[in-house]
Chain A
């Protein structure tokens, strides 16, 4: 085999410039693929990690995926008669037996769970009324599933327990109300309950919609405010391994019956956008590689054409058709491999170049540069595709070379 490699090297070396051009084509394709893939994957990975960081990984809701069968349907299972105009049975909203469920959920290794009761309330301070979402939390469990402890800028989570009717509000909400730490205000729920609540903490998440509308209080306090004693309407979970979210959510839903959503399900629209984005990137870089492949096809075809005599003489010396085919496949593979190697270097340069760019937009989240994925898998995929397509491009001229009739060539030369 090393003999064929030697001959292939000699043949390619004779067409240095043309070989270089086609190799450069492959290198460009591979390089740009690596560059764009790094930006795309970097952004997507960052985005997903933000979602994973901010949102619960699994949310159990106090609703069912399908409406419960009504009493009339239960009484006549499999009946051939359709019932219409039934008045559905009222169902008391809320997750049943949250204590039992919490015990089961907390026994899952690598998972932390916290029960919540969320509801609306009107915050009334001085002359201002601002509507807010009040979430009743367990201050021992909730920090294990969220970043609340990290986000609190004034006061502390523990003060919820030590202060009667304590409340922690978002920084935007505090500004809209004009209220500061230690002040008291009235909270009015849609059920008409009014509580005088004291601000014991202010948080800032950086997400404007949360900071302007969210408030936290003790689960028990919110149950009084919402007039729903002992009721929990959400259980949120955080997992050590986020990839387990979807299967675990399905397991929980199958066991408890309540609608259970993983973070993937809740963000399905964004994940779909990513898939579309990826297919666009892959088709464009695929097109670049296709053009590069034509370059390789061109070089190998030219070499085959120019080397007709050499092919004839090699055959007369006792080289088989297969030898000749391999000889030109090696040349295609070599062009592809060199192109891939150069492309990897180019890609690394593009990535480092982009890493130097600053947008200077002063975005709130502090991102003023490309988030780049420096993953070896990207290089491996790009190189693999380049080498395989180079080999495919070389197959046609290589087969033609193998089938050349040496007698015709030698006769033609004489």
Chain B
């Protein structure tokens, strides 16, 4: 059984345009999937639907075989908290909080006390090579470091699925490669499913599987070495 499965999902906006039509995709733990395609091909829409951040207009999204279609907003939020980690093109760190607190916030949301959550956050940051920068505010960090803090935040509650939307879009080549390596490692070592959206063909080659979208449809889906 796959970890995360999209069963013929479509997404239409009320005004008419079709973002995604009848996409089916099953992702297993340990897979590192790169979604590619031109701008407006529906890559991000597919990612948000897989991450239960948006609801499909038709079709189903299954998490560990369980249909998520009829779940309430709160139930979806609870699943996002426990099972999913998101990384976006922009780091979206809360500017009022230090790197450490930004990572600790989703941990505290699960009910853990502040001190314990900060301890855990520190461990995660250290694992990403940011152990000594954890007290810094987001605006004191470089772009690459901010994106790594954002990854640390996505990993805060040890999610089964890690979803990233153009995570290297704002980074230079060196930092982009480093971030990509982190994702590859996270998929390989922890048995997570990692799905990233990217338009960088060079980086996409390094994923274990590549899904290509054109005009809201999956046109190719192939494993790659």
Interface of A with B (CB < 8 Å)?
2-3, 6-7, 10-11, 13-14, 309-310, 312-323, 406-407, 410-411, 413-414
B168 to chain A, nearest CB (A): 13
Contact of A14 among B84, B90, B96, B114 (CB under 8 A): B96
Interface: B78 (CB within 8 A): yes
Whether A10 pairs with B96 at a CB distance below 8 angstroms is yes
Docked complex: B112-152 residues within 8 A CB-CB of A: 114
Contact of B94 among A2, A7, A316, A322 (CB under 8 A): A7
In the complex with contacts A11-B96, A313-B92, A414-B89, A318-B81 CB distance below 8 A: yes
A138 to chain B, nearest CB (A): 77
A280 to chain B, nearest CB (A): 44
Q: How large is the interface on B (under 10, 10 to 19, 20 to 34, 35 or more residues)?
A: 20 to 34
Whether A316 pairs with B53 at a CB distance below 8 angstroms is yes
Chain B residue nearest to A309 (CB atoms) is: B92
- Please encode chain B, from 71 to 85, with 1 for each CB lying within 8 Å of some chain A CB and 0 for all others: 001100111111010
Given A314-B105, A319-B109, A320-B78, 11 more A-B residue pairs with CB atoms under 8 Å apart are A7-B96, A10-B97, A310-B94, A318-B78, A318-B80, A318-B157, A319-B81, A320-B77, A406-B53, A407-B53, A414-B166
Counting chain A CB atoms within 10 Å of each CB, the highest count among B51, B77, B153 belongs to B77
Q: For A11, list chain B residues within 8 Å (CB).
A: 96
Contact of B105 among A7, A321, A411 (CB under 8 A): A7
Q: For B97, list chain A residues within 8 Å (CB).
A: 7, 10
In the complex with contacts A315-B77, A316-B53, A319-B77, A410-B105 CB distance below 8 A: no
Whether B44 pairs with A313 at a CB distance below 8 angstroms is no
Counting chain B CB atoms within 10 Å of each CB, the highest count among A2, A14, A309, A313 belongs to A313
Interface: B54 (CB within 8 A): yes
A163 to chain B, nearest CB (A): 88
Interface: B95 (CB within 8 A): yes
Chain A residue nearest to B81 (CB atoms) is: A318
Interface: B165 (CB within 8 A): yes
A2 to B53, CA, bound (A): 25
Q: For B90, list chain A residues within 8 Å (CB).
A: 309, 413-414
Q: For B180, list chain A residues within 8 Å (CB).
A: none
Looking at chain A's contact residues, is the secondary structure mostly helix, strand, loop, or mixed?
Answer: helix
- Please encode chain B, from 40 to 73, with 1 for each CB lying within 8 Å of some chain A CB and 0 for all others: 0000100010010110000000000000000001
Contact of B74 among A309, A322, A413 (CB under 8 A): A322
Interface: B30 (CB within 8 A): no
Contact of A320 among B73, B95, B169 (CB under 8 A): B73
Contact of B48 among A2, A14, A320, A407 (CB under 8 A): A407
A16 to chain B, nearest CB (A): 12
A314 to B81, CA, bound (A): 10
A363 to chain B, nearest CB (A): 59
Counting chain B CB atoms within 10 Å of each CB, the highest count among A312, A318, A407 belongs to A318
Chain B residue nearest to A317 (CB atoms) is: B106
Whether A313 pairs with B73 at a CB distance below 8 angstroms is no
Q: For B82, list chain A residues within 8 Å (CB).
A: 318
B97 to chain A, nearest CB (A): 6
B100 to chain A, nearest CB (A): 13
Whether A2 pairs with B74 at a CB distance below 8 angstroms is no
Q: For B48, list chain A residues within 8 Å (CB).
A: 407, 410
Chain A residue nearest to B110 (CB atoms) is: A318
B101 to chain A, nearest CB (A): 8
Whether B73 pairs with A321 at a CB distance below 8 angstroms is yes
Counting chain A CB atoms within 10 Å of each CB, the highest count among B78, B84, B95, B101 belongs to B95
Chain A to chain B contacts (Cβ below 8 Å), 29 pairs: A2-B114, A3-B105, A10-B97, A11-B96, A310-B92, A310-B94, A313-B92, A316-B53, A317-B86, A317-B106, A318-B78, A318-B79, A318-B80, A318-B82, A318-B84, A318-B109, A318-B157, A319-B77, A319-B109, A321-B77, A322-B74, A406-B53, A407-B53, A410-B92, A411-B44, A413-B92, A414-B44, A414-B90, A414-B169
Whether B74 pairs with A321 at a CB distance below 8 angstroms is yes
Q: Which 3 pairs of residues, A with B, have the shortest CB-CB distance?
A: A318-B81, A10-B96, A318-B80
Whether A14 pairs with B165 at a CB distance below 8 angstroms is no
Whether B51 pairs with A316 at a CB distance below 8 angstroms is yes
Q: For B74, list chain A residues within 8 Å (CB).
A: 320-322
Q: For B165, list chain A residues within 8 Å (CB).
A: 410, 414
Counting chain B CB atoms within 10 Å of each CB, the highest count among A14, A309, A317 belongs to A317
B214 to chain A, nearest CB (A): 19
Whether B96 pairs with A316 at a CB distance below 8 angstroms is no
Q: For B106, list chain A residues within 8 Å (CB).
A: 317-318
A321 to B53, CA, bound (A): 13
Q: For B109, list chain A residues within 8 Å (CB).
A: 3, 317-319, 323
- Please encode chain B, from 157 to 178, with 1 for each CB lying within 8 Å of some chain A CB and 0 for all others: 1000000011001000000000
A309 to B88, CA, bound (A): 11
Chain B residue nearest to A324 (CB atoms) is: B77
